[in-house]
Amino acid sequence: MQIRFNDRFLGEVASKGYTGKLPFPVEVATKFRQRIIQIKNASHTQDLRNIKSLHFEKLKEKKYEGKYSIRINQAYRIIFSVDTENGNIEIICIEEISNHYS
């Protein structure tokens, strides 16, 4: 699956290109990169839904209308949207990393 980053900073974190102070723990950045690999290896969002540990879900809050999330760990989530091109190619657009409990 293709991935786009709506936040350049997250794109740099995903590619290990960011070396400054992170706004979240280093373990979250490491797990974030692992999740990005899982997304890239998936053919469709259904593949991500089938991995129960990701807790793939459509978000219900008004500010996240049309957005989905998967778990990075117990507290942090990747917030993203799904676009389609040519009728069936799904593209994940990474929006943010959210601390679910803050």
- Predicted pLDDT of residue 87: 66
User: What mean pLDDT do residues 78-92 have?
Assistant: 84
- For domain 2-99, give the CATH number: 3.30.2310.20
12-70 pLDDT, tens digit each:
999 987 788 999 999 999 999 999 999 999 999 999 999 999 999 999 999 999 999 99
- H helices present in 1-102, as ranges: 8-14, 26-41, 45-49
